[in-house]
């Protein structure tokens, strides 16, 4: 049994289907909580597991609300293509993590990404948000065993 926990979520998601798929992937990778920031998610066909019925799901109004009400000692980790982002291949996941993904048509704010560790998946182009989230969870799963 591994120690720690993690949650995953999206900030200002543009497409409900992507958020729905991210929730489903979170359940598949045994996330301990799921969240959205700045929007309300309705049931999507892509969320076939109805993850929010089985895992705590939080809806934060904005980033400040998320940071103020995150679990105690839970370390935010941004997933974003920034010049200063660390390569996921060498990233050591915190025992207690909150993975934050940005919207499909924009970036996470620099003031958030410079405040917390920011990782990137080394691809030529940006990935779909739920694909990126799934890769991060898979990487955590492999490294935390």
- The model's pLDDT over 127-136, given as tens digits with 9 standing for 90+, comes to 999 999 999 9
- The model's pLDDT over 115-124, given as tens digits with 9 standing for 90+, comes to 999 999 999 8
Domain spanning 5-143, CATH architecture: 3-Layer(aba) Sandwich (3.40)
pTM (two decimals)? 0.89
Query: Residue 1 — very low, low, confident or very high, per pLDDT cuts 50/70/90?
Result: very low
Domain boundaries along the sequence of the chain: 5-143
Three-state SS at 115:
coil
In degrees and rounded to multiples of 5, residue 136 shows phi and psi of: -60, -45
Distance in angstroms (rounded) separating the CA atoms of residues 3 and 127: 29
């Amino acid at each position: 049994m591994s120690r720690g926990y993690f949650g995953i979520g999206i900030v200002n998601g543009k497409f409900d289907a992507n958020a729905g798929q991210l929730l489903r992937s979170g359940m598949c990778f045994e996330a301990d909580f799921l969240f959205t920031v700045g929007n309300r998610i309705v049931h999507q066909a892509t969320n076939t597991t109805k993850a929010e019925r089985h895992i705590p799901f939080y809806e934060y109004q904005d980033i400040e609300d998320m940071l103020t009400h995150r679990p105690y000692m839970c370390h935010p980790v941004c997933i974003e293509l920034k010049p200063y982002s660390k390569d996921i291949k060498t990233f050591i996941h915190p025992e207690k993590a909150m993975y934050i993904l940005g919207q499909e048509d924009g970036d996470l704010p620099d003031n958030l990404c410079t405040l917390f560790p920011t990782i990137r998946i080394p691809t030529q182009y940006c990935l779909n948000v739920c694909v990126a989230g799934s890769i991060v969870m898979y990487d955590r799963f492999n490294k935390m065993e």
